[in-house]
Structure 1
Amino acid sequence: MEAQYPAHWEADVVLSDGGTAHVRPIRPADADRLRSFYSRLSEESIYFRFFGPRPRLSDREVTRFTNVDYVDRVALIATIGTEMVAVIRYDRIEDGEAEVAFLVEDAHQGRGVASVLLEHLAETARENGITRFVADVLPANQKMMAVLKQAGYTARSRFADGVVRMTLDLTPTETSQAVTASREHRAEARSIERLLTPGSVAVVGAGRDPGGVGQTVLRNLLAADFAGPVYPVHRQARAVAGVRAYPSVTAIDGEVDLAVLAVPADGVIEVVKECAEKGVRGLIVVSSGFGETGPQGRARQDELVRIARAYGLRVVGPNCLGIANTDPAVRLNATLAATIPGRGRVGFFSQSGALGTALLQRVAERGMGISSFVSAGNRADVSGNDLLQYWEEDPDTDVILLYLESLGNPRKFARLARRISRRKPVVAVKSGGTTQGVPIGHAASVLGLPDTALSALFEQAGVIRVDDLIQQFDVAQLLAHQPLPAGPRVGLVSNSDALALLAVDACARADLDPRPPVNLGPHAGAAEFGQALASLLPEVDAAVAIYMPPIPGRAGEVAAELLRVSREGGKPVLATFEGRLGMLPELRVGADVPGHGSIPSYAAPEEAVRALAHVVRYARWRERSAGAPVEFDGVDGTAAHALVERLLGTDTAVAAATGAPDAVVADAGAPGALVADAVADADADAEAEAEAPGAVGAVPQHAERVPSEAEVAELLACYGLTVWPAEVVSSPEQAVDAAERLGWPVVLKAAEPEAAQRAGTVRLGLSGPDGVRDAYADLHRQLGAEAVLAVQRMVPQPAVPTVVRVVEDPGFGAVVSFGLGEVTARLLRDEAYRLAPLTREDAAELVESPRAAPLLFGQYGYPPVAVEALEELLVRVGRLADDLPEVARLDLDPVLVGQSEVVVLGARAVLRHPAWPRPDGGPRRLR
């Protein structure tokens, strides 16, 4: 029987130099490709692989190497274009152990091909129950030993008989995961650097029409005085805009690093192949007619990306505005926008091509500068996550601005943003009104308040989320030019009482701490403003200077004095200066480009305060500890996995081979897993995921299992969590007997979740048989004769009811939510959200975030409760959620928090084999 080809192992990957390759399992049809690959190898590479000379492979060897069973014998190859450039394989030698070997074409050694292949092979091995790799390596083969040692797995080596035997434990470790993330970061950052710093640019489709898209890009490149050669490409024209034109990309007599494609959509694929043949390293596709037009356009878009990646190219677009880099050594304006802001310290990513021109115009009008700009359009390949990787290390970028219409891989975004925000602020505008122009993927998240959840998850990652573009630029000009505030104390210096009062009110609304304003009077000049600001700054964390003279005064002198005092004070200073907006020439440090220490100006003091409030919250987040994973006693993840597999059963399992890789999840998009309208239940969401474009297999409905309360309690026990037992009863006497077994006092309550949501369905403090019988009769009168009731021992009072939930979101992975169980809190959906796993800091923020949280801290007449025990419960639940993607839903309701303990009274779950790996899980791969 022929082995079934595991298509889900295929992946596009970014190599360490920024190029791309395709990783896939080997097939019998690869025989000639293997022979060609082998013929290009050096004698040294062959010797290191086979421990001796071997001029060619025999037909028998080729057959053996290309025919594998994908279980005990597995081989993965890396291809660029149509050629194989590397191969890695394992052969099982005993239970749980396999021998590994790899071979990389000499011309592609040093590009990180072997490292990424090893990551993918380790994942396939774990899927097939292999936990160790062994490799016999010649001592002189230092490259292979380095790849194995630097993978981050626990490694051992011993020397015998002239050979080094290396053993790798394939259990993922913090080190191996950190190595993978670090390599991903360097590779993706390098791929964007190649796009933004080309040595030469070709514009394909640059015609004679002055209003044409291609000629517009060409003229903008020339107007920006791009540092390298620019090549117009047109089939008939000999020259465009006074520059010699070429009939094709391949006809260009110099090297081409970047190609801008402005040809009709149905001609793009042919041009991409020409670019691949020429050796172009990156593409910008400004052409429309792709994913934004429907299924046919989406198929064309997928083909564009497939071919480009196969030949090592990254793609910006299609349907995009283009890219720009203001570095004086590059001077790149490969966009449709004639106006590009000057040099600055802000990196700007816009998913929308239509808005891009207006956004750049607004930035320029404010006098702000940018370091680089990317409009990703349909975001078929290059995304905001790629730009985050680049800007994290870019020495010319201090602030990152994102305009997002969807989140391609939300979990990866959160991981990257949480790391990057510790060093550089990320300011995001997240719209949710449309999916036009973005990849169409999964339907909505199952979370009930998606926008609230998204804001909470942004907050967890340290992202400054603002409501609109005006706010984004308001915040950016403060972050780019002034230091972070140390606290919320705000000083106000003004020559207008009315405007000062508006600023005080704005501070109060924004939870800032305004000090009494210093009112200087309408005729105050430079000396008065300087003295007032100098005396105020030592007592506050930030200051707002309001200068609105009734008649034109000596604005230049006042501005110079504000700048002097601000720089000496070392604290952030903002201004409302004559009602003007942006980085005013009078308030700049530096001549043409506003430098650090320049004072941003706002049209109104309320806008200045609003921007300051965002920055204060961000500074507070940066001061908090990032936290670390918490290890508790009583956690048995192995037992939990075994229990889940037993409950689901192999007959209902959806094998990983039947689902799309996380590349498909990364394309989730309507418009982002947590942003679209919430669906009613998990079944509807699963069905929508099954039908999502690009999914290899569907999620059968029978793959879901709702375990009993006893089974859920057993699962929770694997994580040190106890559910108080409850007994379902069908008569008053059974209720009395149950109470005797459980211990008095008891409660009698509705056992069905739907009935339990109704008010008055619980009878508390029943301390004797007569009380139980009366409560039983009372509840049956209220709920009906068919109502199912349960008896449970009563928790010592007073206690605050809370609700803890887990949702396995298709975009974010495991999300933990927390709220109070009071009726009003439930009705208002007063919940907080965090991504699993949780640190102690995450758990503390979860507890403090709901608006009703003061009830847990001894306010409004409630006694303080065991908050630390509640936080530990949340961390344990987060660990469970992170370990078990099969837990599609988990509801702990209610969780009573008393003065000394936390008690889980109800627990329900939904189990489901995931249709595809979690986003941002497994080895490196592109969306």
Structure 2
Amino acid sequence: MTSPDDTSAGQLAQYAVQAPADYPVDFEADVVLRDGATARLRPITPSDADLLVEFYARVSEQSKYYRFFAPYPQLSDRDVARFTQVDYHDRLALIVTVGNEMIGVGRYERTGRRTAEVAFLIEDAHQGRGLGQLLLEHLAQAARENGITRFVAEVLPDNRKMITVFTEAGYKVAREFEDGVIMVEFDIAPTDTSFGVMQAREQRSEALSIARLLTPASVAVIGASRREGTIGNALLRNLRDSGFSGRMYAINADTSAEDFEGVPVYPTIRDVPDTVDLVIVAIRADKVADVVLDCAAKGVRGLVVVSSGFAEVGDEGRKLQRQLVGLARSYGMRVIGPNALGLINTAAGVSLNATLSPTMPSRGRVAFFCQSGALGVPILADMATRGVGLSSFVSAGNRADVSGNDLMQFWYSDEATEVVLLYLESLGNPRKFSRVARRLAGRKPVVALKSGRATQGVPVGQLVRRSKLPAATIDSMFRQSGLIGVDTTGELFDVAQLLAHQPLPKGRRVAIVSNSDALTLLALDTMAEVGLQVAGEPRNLSPDAAAADFGAALAEVFADERVHSVVVIYTPPVQSGGAEVAAVLAAAAAGSDKPVVSTFLASRSVPKELQVPDGDGGAARGSIPSFLNPQYAVGALAKATQYAEWRRRSDSGVPDLPDVNTSGAEDFVAEYLQRHPKGADLDDSDRQLLLSFYGISVLPAFPVLSADEAVARAADLGFEVILKATAEQWRMRPDLADIWRHIHDEDDMRAAWGEMTRTFGVASDPGRAQFVVQKMAPVGVPVVISALEDVSFGPVVTFGLSGVATDLLGDRSYRMPPLTTRDAAEMVREVRAAPLLYGYRGTDPADIAAIENLLHRVSRLTLDLEEVVKLDLRSILVAIQGATVLDAAIRIAPNEKPRQDTPVRRLT
């Protein structure tokens, strides 16, 4: 790769694409390669002619032969013009660049109405880094958007690498051998298999990109200083004192000394004689871009930018932050920060403290991602006092590049990590967060604290899309993803203490062994609040109970198969170390698969008496955590129990809906937006048509403006109708009857008309009430299903019972599509008014399966059609059998900000 030796921050404009007017910006992406390095993927432009020629000159003769099936030593001017001048619709080429060099290109050319031929050329030095697979994913996505559904390719038989790209993409590939060439053909519609392949590759590459940051062989501190009290001095000291096993370098223009406190010093990173893997940056924000270029020239893998003065200070800082991230990614580097506290890895053979915190945690099984730099230092100190060891820790500051999503990808396969903690101030990509978290939570518990839920506030410096959804959406998304949501940092550490040392509960029944009646009552009250059940009567011992008394009671509860978890409370009446009680508790719990929590001498850690020592001097699994009071102990136990139940449920899938016509719906939406370029609310006929593509029908309602019209329409329907006022200001008013039911004949209709027009005060102008006549639906429970396209979360489906009280109380459930069968079932059951659906006080139970079926269909519609920005089935009657949709509202509009979690791999 050509070094950026002659490039300065002021020359960064050379990386801007000189694009034609129809250049598709949405096709640009920063991507992570198979080895964890980053690159830039974008459409080709005419100004890339020289870049293409230079790239082609570096490609081997064999690779050229594989591409063109004949010797092709160089490109003619005509070739260059053809390859760089594309229409981005029928002919598209995507290139991958690192720095100012092209390293790969893929293209398709339409050969039929729905078919295109696809081809690739990868520079030999970069083959094996996954470029072909990435290019295929992005070309397929672009082709689908341009109406292409099938790719074809010609491949020479001995070009095994390219054949592998096609066959391992997750599509169903057909191959034929003809005239010495393998003909490859496959549909490019996304499938469960292709999604699975993409997500597995995404996890591996993003995990490796984080591993490169956490396991450096050498670290340099740019801005290192001898002066006490400076950031540069603290960083260098913490790095040195952590016992880092690799090489360390101090970078400072002041080279009057050969070393800073034993660490060799150099004026610039380029002057370091050895390779440098990780660089910690602590200099002025306006100087960072030049340092990035120096790091690129040195081959640095990643940056930790603790410097402030970026997006958190305003527009100029935001520009510097975008420049920092764009430049670093373009040269293959990941960035933690800016304005970050840093990262820690306690692994043996690494022992890295690249943070501003003087506390080096003990080695443990808990990993922690923290967005807040200010909270990072007290969090590390608090964990140390609780005896919770860490495997790794990252505080990302402004989170301009590396995010919690990246860390979760790493911890998914990190054998040193058994429990993951997240302190989140914002969610940059909620859809990807939910998907990645759900996958991780299926393997390891993830405990998450999200600040700012009530206000949906975003800290200064974190550039994210602001959601307009209620705070309950985040709580629902956590539940859907299997995360253990908590409300305070204290609760975060309480749950971490339990999960790091004890097994997961196998059920909700809890036994209590205690020598304090008062604390037992607190435990029982808390259990009732959090839904845990008492296994038999609490074993209440006397205040002066001896170790033998505890031993006998503990032997009983551990032997009782009805007991799933155990709470032990020990508070001696006089000052006592409790060593004998601790010994019998540890002995009774040893080898048991039942989790044990305690309030032991009011300790808030893992007391030494209850520790099972590990090889690093910490507390191993089987150690018994202690909490300040039983409320905290039971609260943590409840969280672990809920997570264990989520894990035990069979992981359901997204149901197949064979009668869905996605292509018809997509064509309808495209045609509708041609008629309404700015978007509009659909009228009744368009609503019926769009919903019919997803197997949803709405009971027709017919507007009427007079009693005579109402009578005529009712007669056409054969009576047995309703008269309904649909004007928004009168719908669902508890003081006004907006629906008149059981209209059997003309007299009933005229009576209904007269009474309702008087009630609403519209006798002289009935049009204000927007009356409709509609056939009677079977009697049932009224419910509402809605979907909204949120700028941050993408599509979100909501469910609730219909009524003003439900609206006022916010009794709604929320989920992000796609919905599994379990998601839909939980949506129906978790609303507080759900008993009304199950035969409340002798009423007929509603058809729950019909509700879940509608939820799946709405989920599928809103997932397929991001231009459906709002869908509201605002009146559904669910009978004993079946559900009838009485009213719907839909709005279609251009999606100005595409969804962030796209079907292709990209950094966001």
TM range (shorter): over 0.9
1:283-294, aligned counterparts within 5 Å?
283-294=303-314
Say whether residues 1:541 and 2:541 are aligned partners.
Answer: no
Secondary structure at the counterpart of residue 471 of structure 2: helix
Q: Give the whole-Å Cα distance in 2 for the aligned partners of 1:291 and 1:134.
A: 46
Structure 1 401/17 Cα, relative in aligned 2: closer, same or farther at 3 Å?
same
Q: In the alignment, what sits opposite 1:612?
A: 637
- Choose the corresponding residue for 2:776, options 765, 773, 794: 794
Contact kept in structure 1, 2:426 and 2:464, CA below 8 Å: no
Cα deviation, residue 633, structure 1: 4.5
Deviation per residue, 1:454-486 (Å, 9 max, x gap): 101111111111001100000011111111111
Q: Distance in 1 between matches of 2:313 and 2:69?
A: 56
8 Å Cα contact 1:217-1:334 kept in structure 2 = yes
1:309 aligns with 2:334: no
User: 1:564 is aligned with what amino acid?
Assistant: A
2:343 alignment counterpart: 323
1:458 aligns with 2:440: no
Deviation at 1:569, TM superposition (A): 2.7
Matches within 5 A, 1:476-875: 476-515=496-535, 516-537=537-558, 538=560, 539-590=562-613, 592-649=617-674, 652=677, 703-759=678-734, 760-785=737-762, 786=765, 787-797=769-779, 799-875=780-856
Q: Which of 53, 56, 61 is matched with 2:74 structurally?
A: 56
Q: CA deviation at 1:560?
A: 2.2
Q: 1:69 to 1:3 in 2, by over 3 A?
A: farther
Post-superposition CA distance 1:339-388 (Å, at most 9, x none): 12201111100000111001000000101101000001000000000001
Cα offset, 1:579, TM superposition: 0.4
1:338 maps to: 358
Match of 2:4 in 1: none
1:444 deviation in Å?
3.1
Residue 371 of structure 1 aligns to a residue whose secondary structure is strand
Offset of residue 162 of structure 1: 1.4
Shift of 1:11: 0.9
- The yes-or-no answer on 1:66 pairing with 2:84 is yes
Residue 99 of structure 1 deviates from its aligned partner by 2.0
Query: Distance between the aligned counterparts of 2:685 and 2:907, measured in 1?
Result: 42
CA distance in 1, matches of 2:746, 2:110: 66
Which residue of the other structure, out of 13, 30, 42, is the alignment partner of 1:12?
A: 30
1:651: how far off? 6.0
Q: Take 2:143 and 2:776, find their aligned partners in 1: how far apart are those partners? A: 50
Shift of 1:825: 1.5
Q: Distance in 2 between matches of 1:153 and 1:615?
A: 39
Alpha-carbon distance in 2 for matches of 1:132, 1:35? 30
1:363 alignment partner, one of 367, 375, 383: 383
Contact persistence 2:423–2:449 (CA under 8 A): yes
Instruction: Tell which deviates more after alignment, 627-636 or 351-360.
Output: 627-636
- Among 193, 196, 220, which residue is 1:175 paired with? 193
8 Å contact kept, 1:3–1:68: no
Query: What does residue 220 of structure 2 align with?
Result: 202
Distance (Å, rounded) in 2 between the aligned partners of 1:69 and 1:906: 44
Question: How big is the shift at 1:140?
Answer: 1.1
Alpha-carbon distance between aligned partners in 2 of 1:181 and 1:367, rounded to the nearest angstrom: 36
Quote the Cα distance in structure 2 between the aligned partners of 1:105 and 1:907: 55
1:70-149 matches, within 5 Å, as 70-149=88-167
Aligned 8 A contact 1:477 1:600 in 2: yes
Structure 1 residue 51, shift from structure 2 partner = 2.1
**Does the C-alpha gap of structure 1 residues 195 and 577 become closer, same or farther in structure 2, counting only changes over 3 Å?**
same
Point out the more displaced range, 610-619 or 44-53.
44-53
CA contact (8 A) 1:139 1:163 kept: yes
Distance 1:617 1:877 in 2: 28
Q: Distance in 2 between matches of 1:410 and 1:314?
A: 21
Measure how far apart 1:886 and its partner are.
1.5
Counterpart contact for 1:525–1:554, Cα < 8 Å = no
2:211 counterpart residue number: 193
Residue 212 of structure 1, CA deviation = 1.0
2:884 to 885, 889, 903: 903
Match of 1:691 in 2: none
Distance 2:903 2:39 in 1: 17
Match of 2:16 in 1: none
Deviation at 1:868, TM superposition (A): 1.6
Distance of 1:651 and 1:10 partners within structure 2: 28
CA distance in 2, matches of 1:302, 1:881: 32
| TM-score, length of structure 2 as denominator length | 0.94
Opposite residue 765 of structure 1, the aligned amino acid is H
Q: How does 1:259-408 map to 2 (within 5 A)?
A: 259-408=279-428
CA distance in 1, matches of 2:804, 2:72: 77
After superposition, the C-alpha distances for 1:634-684 in whole angstroms (9 at most, x for unaligned) are 3222222222223222661xxxxxxxxxxxxxxxxxxxxxxxxxxxxxxxx
Q: What do the CA deviations read for 1:387-410 (whole angstroms, capped 9, x no partner)?
A: 010000100111110000000100
Residue 481 of structure 1 contacts residue 596 of structure 1 at CA under 8 Å; is this kept in 2? yes
Distance 2:494 2:133 in 1: 43
Per-residue deviation, residues 149-208 of structure 1 (Å, max 9, x unmatched): 111122111112211111132121111111111111111000001000001000000012
What one-letter code is carried by the residue in structure 2 that aligns with 1:598? S
Q: Is the 8 A contact 1:840 1:872 kept in 2?
A: no
Indicate the larger mover: 170-179 or 381-390.
Answer: 170-179
Report the residue type matching 1:728 in the other structure.
P
1:647–1:705 contact (8 Å) kept in structure 2:
no
Unaligned runs of 5+ in 1: 653-702
Q: How far apart are the structure 2 equivalents of 1:34 and 1:634? A: 47
Number of residue pairs matched?
873
Aligned to 2:6: none
Q: Give the aligned residue type for 2:652.
A: G
**Counterpart position of 1:421:** 441
Give the whole-Å Cα distance in 2 for the aligned partners of 1:406 and 1:522. Answer: 48
TM-score by length of 1: 0.92
More divergent stretch after superposition (588-597 vs 476-485): 588-597
Q: Take 2:660 and 2:23, find their aligned partners in 1: how far apart are those partners?
A: 37
Q: Which moved more, 1:844-853 or 1:127-136?
A: 127-136
CA distance in 2, matches of 1:380, 1:333: 21
Distance 2:335 2:874 in 1: 48
Pair 1:33–1:650, CA change in 2 (3 A): farther
SS in 2 for 1:860: helix
Rounded Cα–Cα distance in structure 2 between residues aligned with 1:436 and 1:917: 23
Q: Could you give the per-residue CA deviations for residues 714-771 of structure 1, whole angstroms, max 9, x where no partner exists?
A: 2222222221111111111211222222233222110223321323222122222212
Q: CA offsets per residue over residues 603-649 of structure 1, 9 Å max, x none?
A: 00011011111111111111112211212343222222222223222
Structure 1 vs Structure 2 CA RMSD: 1.6
Unaligned runs of 5+ in 2: 1-18
Contact kept in structure 1, 2:466 and 2:792, CA below 8 Å: no
